[in-house]
Amino acid sequence: MIKLKNVSKFYYSKGVIATGFTKVNLEFKIGEFVAITGESGSGKSTLLNVISGLDSYEEGEMYIDGKETSHYLEKDWEIYRRKNIGNIYQNFNLVNSYTVYQNIDLVLSLNGIPKDERKKKINELLKRVDMYKYRKTKVSKLSGGQKQRIAIARALAKDVPVIIADEPTGSLDKRSAANIIKLLKEISEDKLVIIVTHNYEQVSEYVTRAITMHDGKVLEDKKFKQVEEESIRCESSYKNITLFNKIRLGFRNTFNVVPKFILLFLVYAFIVAALMGEYSFFKKNEYEMDKSGYNEIFKDTDDKRVVLNKKDKTEFSLEEFDNIKKMKNVKSVIKNDVIVDQDMAFTNEDEMLWMMMRASDMEQFDGKVDLGRLPSNPNEVVIAGDKDNYYLSSDAESILDHKFYMMGDNGEKFKDKEIVIVGIKYMDLKLDYIDFKIYLSDELLDKVLFDTHQKYSTITIDFMGENHTSGNESNSFKLETNNWVTPGTAIIPEDFNSRCDKDVCINKNFNVKVENQYYSVNRDFKIEKNYNQKNINKILELNNYIKEDFEENYNGKIYINPLDYNELFNKGTYQMSVYVDDIENLDGVVAELDKMGYRVLKVKDTLVDVGSTEIMKILKLIVTCALIFVLFFISYFIIKIILKSRNTYFSVLRMLGASKNVCRELLIIELLVISNLSYFIFIGLAEINKTSLLNIEFINTVNTYFKLNDYIVLYVVLTLMSLLISIKYAAKLFKNSVMSVYREEV
Ligand code: ADP
Ligand code: MG
């Protein structure tokens, strides 16, 4: 079956050539029980390794079943080993971290044997070598004799025709040794057994042939029994290891050496944390650069904000408002968006405390208050701000349930805009110079809006063909309200008559136009009456309107009814602000609103950049990539050191006939299991961090700036890194023949 013709083996190391054995001519047949003896260094082990296909030979020819093998590639030797050879070593070469059962299961799994069959066979074999009761014991806990029994069981598990044992009893006591030899004889009936021994007496009663080696040569070859040549009976139909079993083994390898697992896990945890940290830092930076900038019109520069008008400049109906609010990805809609761009000043009754606040409407307030209660009537408000703020925490009593007044531009307090702060909410406002946010009821907001409209509108009075515009110093036209004026009409000063035909203005019409950034209205008023200094009190019931007052204030006031006045200034919603739930959805929502026919403006786009340039962004990206690169090499270096402890394991696998590919895949699975574990533990931590159980600042950053696709990108990076590391490592580890790798280890 195996034939060596003038085969020589040399070792080349450090420029020196050593001889393993020279010009060996031998032929082995199935059914033989061969003992090889000889002094140490005579080439016995080298010969066995060549016969086993574990090592290469340099000269001569080796035939397997009559076929020459010089053209064999690594792959062919792997198949040869797997199908034909069962090795037993002096130092056992078992996987110490596996149990007895798992050791034998390993070789059967590598050969694609189904589970039931494996189980049956392992139990059978363990009974045969009398080790059944130890099947769940870790190999590292067994004695030498017991280990060798397992090694024999493992060699037999594959049902191969050739058993090669290199000093199997070398490290055993006499009794165990005798038992092992007996066992070997028992199982060798229809196999070729080649055994190297120092102690010929031990085997003498069993052998069919004895070979003595000396100085790399065969000195003597005695055959006690002639054996008929038989071709290999079991060119067995072994299959390859199944994917499921690879994964199973990969998982087992991940966890079964605990210190190695912990070390690798720590390295991966570090990689994940560093990648997440760096990447989120980058995202945060980019996000803030994108967001930064200032704006003359919009105080609230939230990048998720979109400003909405109607193309025909008309008012939004309630239905439109509701429809927009119901849109997908819209988080909130502020009806009177004028307020979000206003900072309002408030003062308390004795005017000792002034507070600047950014306004918002009560509808935007979600959740509970931290102090006080929610408003229950229109002039009650909730304010929000930092927990560390003096007025919101230590001195909260000085503002809670106290009256405050809205203040005008020139510092006067508006007695009619009285509020009571009833609730305080703690939140991180992230506003540049404003410490408080105030949530106002719709009623209060209408008042504010009314004021704003009056303050910022241009009023043009077209009186008998002459335009008088507000804000003009010499303008003597002013609108005033008075309840005694009939709606739709106006009462004008007598003096104005001179502007009319024949000095009579009564029953004539004039026009008032109000224009501002949101709307413009036009209204005609019919002149009903004139007034002068004498009759003004009578007509308008201005009780205490004394003469001096009249002269001082008299500058052409036109009195109209408050209802008419309201119609000019107390208008509905001409502009709304829509806030999207996520910046990623901004463009989608804008496109949708655009399709609905609105005029849409992203507040983000109106910002004036403050020095962030594309070049800066690219530089940052390069730095991030460089860091990832460095990280990769550091981790590769550390993982390589940790994996060194796995080399023996992989050598054993290859001695058992596992191909390089299978070994590499097992290594890949091992690292992938750990990288996935670290990744998902981090995700778990990130989730817990959202609750109150855990609060790690850097994970908060990750939570804020990471979107699903960032998680996917990182997962891919991490997986690629693991793949690269295992492939790179495997390429190095499996580059050389099994024995040369193995020799480095032992
Ligand atoms: P044995 O098993 O009979 O004691 P070996 O087969 O181990 O002998 O060794 C045979 C010869 O080959 C010895 O001279 C030894 O020095 C040499 N040899 C074995 N392994 C190596 C090696 N890895 N590098 C160099 N020389 C080696
Ligand atoms: Mg030896």
Domains of the chain listed by start with CATH number: 2-238 (3.40.50.300), 244-285+617-745 (no CATH), 296-335+573-606 (3.30.70.330), 337-441 (no CATH), 457-569 (no CATH)
* Average pLDDT of span 645-655: 86
pLDDT of residue 543: 64
Least confident of 58-72, 108-122, 276-290: 276-290
Query: What is the distance between the alpha carbons of residues 532 and 727, in angstroms, rounded to a whole number?
Result: 100
Query: What is the distance between the alpha carbons of residues 117 and 106, in angstroms, rounded to a whole number?
Result: 13
Measured CA distances, 379 to 342, 572, 636 (Å): 19, 20, 65
Measured in residues, the chain has a length of 746
pLDDT of residue 245: 93
Please state the separation of Cα 43 from the chain's center in Å. 57
Query: Do β-strands 305-310 and 575-580 pair in parallel, antiparallel, or remain unpaired?
Result: antiparallel
pLDDT of residue 551: 61
Least confident of 488-502, 520-534, 548-562, 656-670: 548-562
pLDDT of residue 613: 62
Q: What is the percent of the chain where pLDDT is above 90?
A: 34
Chain position carrying tokens 């305080």: 424
Contacts of 111 (CB under 8 A, 6+ apart): 82, 158, 238, 239, 240, 241, 657
Query: What is the distance between the alpha carbons of residues 449 and 361, in angstroms, rounded to a whole number?
Result: 12
Asked whether the predicted pLDDT for residue 404 surpasses 90, the reply is: yes
Most confident of 140-144, 154-158, 414-418: 140-144
Q: Would you call 345 helix, strand, or coil by DSSP? A: strand
User: Residue 64 C-alpha to ligand 1 middle, in angstroms?
Assistant: 24
Q: Which of 83, 106, 82, 104 is nearest to 250 (CA)?
A: 106
* Average pLDDT of span 145-165: 89
Query: What is the distance between the alpha carbons of residues 317 and 310, in angstroms, rounded to a whole number?
Result: 11
pLDDT of residue 571: 77
Asked whether the predicted pLDDT for residue 210 surpasses 70, the reply is: yes
Which residues, in sequence order, are bridge partners of residue 72? none
Q: Would you call 458 helix, strand, or coil by DSSP? A: strand
Query: What is the distance between the alpha carbons of residues 194 and 16, in angstroms, rounded to a whole number?
Result: 30
What count of other Cβ atoms lies within 10 Å of the Cβ of residue 532? 12
Chain position carrying tokens 């040869």: 80
User: pLDDT band at residue 472, thresholds of 50, 70 and 90?
Assistant: low
pLDDT of residue 419: 92
User: pLDDT band at residue 475, thresholds of 50, 70 and 90?
Assistant: low
pLDDT of residue 544: 59
| DSSP string of 168-235, one letter each residue | TTTTS-HHHHHHHHHHHHHHTTTSEEEEE-S-HHHHHTT-SEEEEEETTEEEEEEESS-------TT-
Per-residue model confidence as pLDDT tens digits over 651-680 = 888 888 888 889 999 999 999 999 999 999
User: pLDDT band at residue 83, thresholds of 50, 70 and 90?
Assistant: confident
User: 42: Cβ below 6 Å to ligand 1?
Assistant: yes
What count of other Cβ atoms lies within 10 Å of the Cβ of residue 482? 17
pLDDT of residue 275: 82
Amino acid at 482: N
Contacts of 220 (CB under 8 A, 6+ apart): 210, 211, 212
Ligand 1 atom closest to the Cα of residue 44 is 3
User: 414: Cβ below 6 Å to ligand 1?
Assistant: no
Per-residue model confidence as pLDDT tens digits over 572-597 = 788 889 999 888 889 999 999 999 99
pLDDT of residue 621: 78
Asked whether the predicted pLDDT for residue 340 surpasses 80, the reply is: no
Contact 207, 224 (CB under 8 A): yes
User: Residue 289 C-alpha to ligand 1 middle, in angstroms?
Assistant: 68
Contact 134, 94 (CB under 8 A): no
| DSSP string of 253-281, one letter each residue | HHHHSHHHHHHHHHHHHHHHHHHHHHHHH
Q: How many CA within 13 A on the CB side of residue 745?
A: 19
Query: What is the distance between the alpha carbons of residues 602 and 304, in angstroms, rounded to a whole number?
Result: 8
Report the residue among 46, 215, 740 best suited for mutation to probe ligand 1: largest number of ligand atoms under 8 A from its CB: 46
Contact 307, 337 (CB under 8 A): yes
User: 11: Cβ below 6 Å to ligand 1?
Assistant: yes
Query: What is the distance between the alpha carbons of residues 291 and 542, in angstroms, rounded to a whole number?
Result: 55
For residues 113-149, one letter each, b for 16 or more C-beta atoms within 10 angstroms of the residue's C-beta and e for the rest, the string is beeeebeebbeebbebbebeebbeebbeebebbbbbb
pLDDT of residue 358: 87
Query: What is the distance between the alpha carbons of residues 728 and 742, in angstroms, rounded to a whole number?
Result: 19
Asked whether the predicted pLDDT for residue 198 surpasses 90, the reply is: no
User: pLDDT band at residue 608, thresholds of 50, 70 and 90?
Assistant: low
Handedness of CA 358, 359, 360, 365 (dihedral sign): positive
Q: Which of 434, 451, 452, 442 is nearest to 357 (CA)?
A: 434
User: Residue 9 C-alpha to ligand 2 middle, in angstroms?
Assistant: 14
Amino acid at 744: E
Report the residue among 8, 39, 42, 51 best suited for mutation to probe ligand 1: largest number of ligand atoms under 8 A from its CB: 42
Which residues, in sequence order, are bridge partners of residue 579? 305, 332
Contact 37, 166 (CB under 8 A): no
User: 44: Cβ below 6 Å to ligand 1?
Assistant: yes
Q: Would you call 526 helix, strand, or coil by DSSP? A: strand
User: Residue 45 C-alpha to ligand 2 middle, in angstroms?
Assistant: 4
Per-residue model confidence as pLDDT tens digits over 416-466 = 788 999 999 998 887 767 889 999 888 888 887 787 778 778 889 898 888
Least confident of 192-201, 283-292, 606-615, 697-706: 606-615
Rg of the chain, C-alpha, whole Å: 47
Query: What is the distance between the alpha carbons of residues 253 and 663, in angstroms, rounded to a whole number?
Result: 12
Contacts of 655 (CB under 8 A, 6+ apart): 54, 81, 87, 93, 738, 742
What count of other Cβ atoms lies within 10 Å of the Cβ of residue 524? 11
Tell which wins on pLDDT, 435 or 100.
Answer: 100
Contacts of 307 (CB under 8 A, 6+ apart): 298, 337, 575, 576, 577, 578, 600, 601, 603
Asked whether the predicted pLDDT for residue 331 surpasses 80, the reply is: yes
Q: Which two tokens stand for residue 73?
A: 């590639």
Q: Which two tokens stand for residue 361?
A: 């409407």
pLDDT of residue 690: 83
User: 212: Cβ below 6 Å to ligand 1?
Assistant: no
Q: Would you call 465 helix, strand, or coil by DSSP? A: coil
pLDDT of residue 550: 61
Measured CA distances, 350 to 54, 102, 353, 402, 411 (Å): 97, 85, 8, 11, 14
pLDDT of residue 446: 81
Beta strands in 451-505 (DSSP E): 458-463, 466-469, 478-481, 489-493
User: 16: Cβ below 6 Å to ligand 1?
Assistant: no
Backbone φ and ψ for 539, nearest 5 degrees, come out as -70, -45
* Average pLDDT of span 547-564: 73
Measured CA distances, 441 to 222, 312, 381, 577, 641 (Å): 110, 29, 7, 17, 66
* Average pLDDT of span 35-64: 92
Ligand 1 atom closest to the Cα of residue 743 is 23
User: 8: Cβ below 6 Å to ligand 1?
Assistant: no
Please state whether 313 falls in left (phi above 0), alpha (psi between -120 and 50) or beta: left
Contacts of 591 (CB under 8 A, 6+ apart): none
* Average pLDDT of span 303-312: 87
User: pLDDT band at residue 384, thresholds of 50, 70 and 90?
Assistant: very high
Query: What is the distance between the alpha carbons of residues 441 and 375, in angstroms, rounded to a whole number?
Result: 9
Contact 98, 256 (CB under 8 A): yes
pLDDT of residue 219: 93
User: 45: Cβ below 6 Å to ligand 1?
Assistant: yes
Backbone φ and ψ for 553, nearest 5 degrees, come out as -90, -10
Please report, in angstroms and rounded to a whole number, the separation of the first and last CA atoms in the chain.
Answer: 31
Q: Which residues surround ligand 2, an ion (CB under 5 A)?
A: 45
Asked whether the predicted pLDDT for residue 650 surpasses 60, the reply is: yes
pLDDT of residue 228: 73
pLDDT of residue 470: 79
Q: Which two tokens stand for residue 658?
A: 């596992």
What count of other Cβ atoms lies within 10 Å of the Cβ of residue 311? 8
Q: Whose CA is nearest to atom 13 of ligand 1?
A: 41
Amino acid at 319: E
pLDDT of residue 611: 56
Q: Which two tokens stand for residue 344?
A: 């309002």
Average pLDDT score over the chain = 86
Backbone φ and ψ for 99, nearest 5 degrees, come out as -80, 170
Asked whether the predicted pLDDT for residue 287 surpasses 80, the reply is: no
Contact 6, 25 (CB under 8 A): yes
